[in-house]
Amino acid sequence: MRQILVTNDDGIEADGLRALAETLRTLGDVTVVAPAEENSAVSHALTVRRALQLRKVSEAWYSVDGTPTDCVNVAVSEVMGRVPDLVVSGINNGLNVGDDVTYSGTVAGALEGVLLGAPALAVSLQRSSGSMDYTAAAQVARQLAESVLDQGLPHRTLLNVNVPSDAHHGIRVTVQARRTQAVGLYRTSDAEQQSSVWIRSAELDWEPDARSDYDTILAGWVSVTPLQTDWTNHAALGVVEALTVTTPAEVK
Protein backbone atom coordinates (compact mmCIF):
# COMPACT_ATOMS: atom_id res chain seq x y z
CA MET A 1 0.00 0.00 0.00
CA ARG A 2 1.28 3.46 -0.89
CA GLN A 3 2.29 5.66 2.03
CA ILE A 4 1.13 9.30 1.87
CA LEU A 5 2.18 12.00 4.34
CA VAL A 6 -0.11 15.00 4.79
CA THR A 7 0.94 18.21 6.53
CA ASN A 8 0.06 21.91 6.45
CA ASP A 9 0.83 25.29 8.01
CA ASP A 10 -2.70 26.18 9.20
CA GLY A 11 -2.46 23.70 12.06
CA ILE A 12 -3.77 20.30 13.10
CA GLU A 13 -7.36 21.57 13.54
CA ALA A 14 -7.65 23.12 10.06
CA ASP A 15 -10.62 22.14 7.91
CA GLY A 16 -8.46 22.07 4.79
CA LEU A 17 -6.14 19.49 6.35
CA ARG A 18 -9.00 17.17 7.19
CA ALA A 19 -10.59 17.50 3.74
CA LEU A 20 -7.26 16.72 2.09
CA ALA A 21 -6.48 13.70 4.26
CA GLU A 22 -9.93 12.18 3.85
CA THR A 23 -9.83 12.53 0.06
CA LEU A 24 -6.34 11.05 -0.29
CA ARG A 25 -7.29 7.90 1.63
CA THR A 26 -8.63 6.47 -1.63
CA LEU A 27 -5.03 6.36 -2.88
CA GLY A 28 -3.20 4.75 0.04
CA ASP A 29 -2.41 4.83 3.74
CA VAL A 30 -2.48 8.45 4.92
CA THR A 31 -0.48 9.70 7.89
CA VAL A 32 -1.11 13.25 9.11
CA VAL A 33 1.65 15.15 10.93
CA ALA A 34 0.85 18.86 11.23
CA PRO A 35 1.74 21.84 13.43
CA ALA A 36 -0.03 22.01 16.79
CA GLU A 37 -0.80 25.67 16.04
CA GLU A 38 -0.96 27.86 12.96
CA ASN A 39 2.43 28.40 11.32
CA SER A 40 1.60 30.52 8.29
CA ALA A 41 4.40 32.51 6.62
CA VAL A 42 7.19 30.69 8.48
CA SER A 43 8.75 29.64 5.17
CA HIS A 44 11.29 26.79 5.49
CA ALA A 45 12.11 27.38 9.16
CA LEU A 46 13.55 24.47 11.13
CA THR A 47 13.44 24.34 14.94
CA VAL A 48 16.92 23.57 16.30
CA ARG A 49 17.11 25.45 19.65
CA ARG A 50 14.59 23.39 21.62
CA ALA A 51 13.05 19.95 21.70
CA LEU A 52 9.88 19.31 19.71
CA GLN A 53 6.80 17.77 21.29
CA LEU A 54 5.13 15.02 19.26
CA ARG A 55 1.56 14.19 20.27
CA LYS A 56 -0.74 11.49 18.91
CA VAL A 57 -4.15 13.05 18.33
CA SER A 58 -5.86 9.96 16.93
CA GLU A 59 -5.02 6.99 14.74
CA ALA A 60 -2.44 8.13 12.14
CA TRP A 61 -2.93 11.77 13.23
CA TYR A 62 -0.11 13.58 15.02
CA SER A 63 0.72 17.14 16.01
CA VAL A 64 4.15 18.72 16.44
CA ASP A 65 4.73 22.02 18.23
CA GLY A 66 6.85 23.30 15.37
CA THR A 67 6.89 24.31 11.73
CA PRO A 68 5.75 22.38 8.65
CA THR A 69 9.40 21.57 7.95
CA ASP A 70 9.71 20.15 11.46
CA CYS A 71 6.58 18.09 10.91
CA VAL A 72 7.87 16.42 7.76
CA ASN A 73 11.18 15.55 9.40
CA VAL A 74 9.50 14.16 12.52
CA ALA A 75 7.05 12.20 10.37
CA VAL A 76 9.80 10.54 8.35
CA SER A 77 12.15 9.81 11.23
CA GLU A 78 9.80 9.09 14.15
CA VAL A 79 6.28 8.36 12.93
CA MET A 80 6.55 6.60 9.59
CA GLY A 81 10.14 5.42 9.83
CA ARG A 82 10.63 5.87 6.09
CA VAL A 83 10.33 8.39 3.28
CA PRO A 84 6.71 8.27 2.07
CA ASP A 85 5.68 7.70 -1.52
CA LEU A 86 4.16 11.18 -1.60
CA VAL A 87 4.02 14.31 0.57
CA VAL A 88 1.01 16.61 0.23
CA SER A 89 0.89 19.93 2.11
CA GLY A 90 -2.38 21.84 2.52
CA ILE A 91 -5.09 22.65 1.82
CA ASN A 92 -4.02 26.17 2.69
CA ASN A 93 -6.60 28.81 3.55
CA GLY A 94 -5.53 31.34 0.89
CA LEU A 95 -3.42 31.37 -2.25
CA ASN A 96 0.34 30.85 -2.44
CA VAL A 97 1.29 32.34 -5.79
CA GLY A 98 4.19 34.31 -7.25
CA ASP A 99 6.77 35.61 -4.80
CA ASP A 100 4.63 34.47 -1.86
CA VAL A 101 5.98 30.93 -2.24
CA THR A 102 9.18 32.16 -0.57
CA TYR A 103 7.19 32.91 2.62
CA SER A 104 4.78 30.00 2.48
CA GLY A 105 4.84 27.32 5.15
CA THR A 106 2.57 25.25 2.92
CA VAL A 107 5.12 25.22 0.11
CA ALA A 108 7.91 24.62 2.64
CA GLY A 109 6.25 21.42 3.85
CA ALA A 110 6.23 20.07 0.31
CA LEU A 111 9.78 21.33 -0.26
CA GLU A 112 11.08 19.39 2.74
CA GLY A 113 9.44 16.27 1.38
CA VAL A 114 11.27 16.75 -1.92
CA LEU A 115 14.59 17.30 -0.16
CA LEU A 116 14.08 14.03 1.71
CA GLY A 117 13.43 12.18 -1.53
CA ALA A 118 9.64 12.13 -1.97
CA PRO A 119 7.57 13.74 -4.72
CA ALA A 120 5.36 16.45 -3.27
CA LEU A 121 2.39 18.75 -3.78
CA ALA A 122 1.54 22.04 -2.07
CA VAL A 123 -2.18 22.81 -2.35
CA SER A 124 -3.86 26.15 -1.63
CA LEU A 125 -7.40 27.48 -2.02
CA GLN A 126 -8.30 31.10 -2.73
CA ARG A 127 -10.14 32.77 0.13
CA SER A 128 -13.81 33.58 -0.42
CA SER A 129 -16.17 36.01 1.27
CA GLY A 130 -18.20 33.18 2.79
CA SER A 131 -17.20 29.93 4.45
CA MET A 132 -14.40 27.96 2.80
CA ASP A 133 -15.48 24.89 0.82
CA TYR A 134 -12.47 22.64 0.28
CA THR A 135 -14.29 19.98 -1.74
CA ALA A 136 -13.13 21.04 -5.22
CA ALA A 137 -9.55 21.70 -4.09
CA ALA A 138 -9.40 18.29 -2.42
CA GLN A 139 -10.57 16.59 -5.61
CA VAL A 140 -7.94 18.44 -7.64
CA ALA A 141 -5.31 17.37 -5.12
CA ARG A 142 -6.44 13.74 -5.32
CA GLN A 143 -6.31 13.68 -9.12
CA LEU A 144 -2.84 15.23 -9.22
CA ALA A 145 -1.63 12.99 -6.40
CA GLU A 146 -2.79 9.90 -8.28
CA SER A 147 -1.00 11.03 -11.43
CA VAL A 148 2.22 11.80 -9.54
CA LEU A 149 2.12 8.44 -7.74
CA ASP A 150 1.65 6.64 -11.07
CA GLN A 151 3.97 8.70 -13.28
CA GLY A 152 6.37 10.44 -10.91
CA LEU A 153 7.96 13.88 -11.15
CA PRO A 154 11.41 15.08 -12.19
CA HIS A 155 14.01 14.80 -9.43
CA ARG A 156 13.72 17.48 -6.72
CA THR A 157 10.53 18.94 -8.16
CA LEU A 158 7.29 19.80 -6.37
CA LEU A 159 3.96 21.01 -7.72
CA ASN A 160 2.53 24.23 -6.31
CA VAL A 161 -1.23 23.93 -6.82
CA ASN A 162 -3.57 26.90 -6.41
CA VAL A 163 -7.33 26.55 -6.76
CA PRO A 164 -9.62 29.58 -7.33
CA SER A 165 -12.68 29.90 -5.12
CA ASP A 166 -14.79 29.69 -8.28
CA ALA A 167 -12.95 27.19 -10.46
CA HIS A 168 -15.04 27.12 -13.62
CA HIS A 169 -12.34 25.87 -15.99
CA GLY A 170 -9.76 23.09 -15.87
CA ILE A 171 -6.08 22.98 -14.97
CA ARG A 172 -3.26 24.98 -16.49
CA VAL A 173 0.48 24.58 -16.04
CA THR A 174 1.85 27.97 -15.03
CA VAL A 175 4.91 29.98 -14.02
CA GLN A 176 5.39 32.13 -10.94
CA ALA A 177 3.96 35.61 -11.18
CA ARG A 178 6.09 38.66 -10.45
CA ARG A 179 5.06 41.73 -8.54
CA THR A 180 6.25 44.98 -7.05
CA GLN A 181 7.19 44.03 -3.51
CA ALA A 182 5.44 45.95 -0.74
CA VAL A 183 4.72 45.35 2.92
CA GLY A 184 1.89 46.95 4.86
CA LEU A 185 2.83 48.18 8.33
CA TYR A 186 0.63 49.29 11.21
CA ARG A 187 2.34 51.07 14.09
CA THR A 188 1.18 52.01 17.56
CA SER A 189 3.12 53.91 20.25
CA ASP A 190 2.67 54.34 23.99
CA ALA A 191 3.63 57.02 26.48
CA GLU A 192 7.05 55.46 27.03
CA GLN A 193 7.89 55.89 23.34
CA GLN A 194 7.80 52.18 22.70
CA SER A 195 6.38 51.13 19.34
CA SER A 196 4.51 48.07 18.20
CA VAL A 197 4.77 47.38 14.48
CA TRP A 198 2.51 44.88 12.75
CA ILE A 199 3.30 43.50 9.29
CA ARG A 200 0.12 43.24 7.25
CA SER A 201 -0.90 42.70 3.65
CA ALA A 202 -0.47 45.57 1.21
CA GLU A 203 -1.75 46.49 -2.24
CA LEU A 204 0.50 44.74 -4.77
CA ASP A 205 1.14 45.48 -8.43
CA TRP A 206 1.42 42.22 -10.37
CA GLU A 207 3.16 42.12 -13.73
CA PRO A 208 0.69 40.95 -16.39
CA ASP A 209 1.57 37.50 -17.71
CA ALA A 210 -1.03 35.15 -19.15
CA ARG A 211 1.11 32.14 -18.16
CA SER A 212 1.49 33.20 -14.52
CA ASP A 213 -0.20 31.52 -11.57
CA TYR A 214 -1.79 34.82 -10.51
CA ASP A 215 -3.40 35.63 -13.88
CA THR A 216 -4.50 32.02 -14.30
CA ILE A 217 -6.32 32.06 -10.97
CA LEU A 218 -8.07 35.33 -11.88
CA ALA A 219 -9.30 33.69 -15.08
CA GLY A 220 -10.90 30.84 -13.12
CA TRP A 221 -8.35 28.12 -13.86
CA VAL A 222 -6.53 25.86 -11.41
CA SER A 223 -2.84 26.77 -11.45
CA VAL A 224 -0.13 24.09 -11.26
CA THR A 225 3.45 25.40 -11.11
CA PRO A 226 6.44 23.05 -11.00
CA LEU A 227 9.00 24.36 -8.50
CA GLN A 228 12.55 23.13 -7.95
CA THR A 229 15.02 23.12 -5.09
CA ASP A 230 17.86 24.56 -7.18
CA TRP A 231 17.80 28.35 -6.72
CA THR A 232 20.87 28.89 -8.90
CA ASN A 233 20.32 31.51 -11.61
CA HIS A 234 22.15 29.59 -14.32
CA ALA A 235 21.64 32.38 -16.85
CA ALA A 236 23.62 34.73 -14.59
CA LEU A 237 26.69 32.51 -14.13
CA GLY A 238 28.55 34.15 -17.02
CA VAL A 239 27.75 37.63 -15.73
CA VAL A 240 29.06 36.79 -12.27
CA GLU A 241 32.19 35.13 -13.69
CA ALA A 242 32.92 38.37 -15.57
CA LEU A 243 32.79 40.50 -12.43
CA THR A 244 36.13 42.02 -11.44
CA VAL A 245 36.83 40.62 -8.00
CA THR A 246 40.13 40.31 -6.18
CA THR A 247 40.53 36.99 -4.43
CA PRO A 248 42.09 36.87 -0.93
CA ALA A 249 45.24 35.21 -2.31
CA GLU A 250 45.78 38.18 -4.62
CA VAL A 251 45.48 40.80 -1.90
CA LYS A 252 48.96 42.18 -0.98
Residue ranges, the chain, pLDDT below 70: 181-187, 189-193, 200-203, 247, 249-252
Cα–Cα separations (whole angstroms), residue 152 to 80, 121, 144, 192:
21, 12, 11, 59
pLDDT of residue 244: 75
Burial (CB count within 10 angstroms: exposed 0-12, middle 13-18, buried 19+), residue 184: exposed
What gap in Å lies between CA 120 and CA 40, rounded to an integer? 19
Residue length of the chain:
252
DSSP letter (8 states) at residue 252:
-
Residues 6+ positions from 132 with CB-CB distance below 8 Å = 15, 16, 93, 125
CB 22 within 8 A of CB 50: no
* 3-state SS, residue 24: helix
pLDDT of residue 187: 65
DSSP letter (8 states) at residue 102:
G
CB 212 within 8 A of CB 162: no
pLDDT of residue 192: 64
Class of domain 3-178+207-250: alpha beta
The letter for the amino acid at 219 is A
Please state, rounded to an integer, the average pLDDT across all residues of the chain. Answer: 92
Burial code (b: 16+ CB inside 10 Å, e: under 16) for 56-65 equals eeeebbbbbb
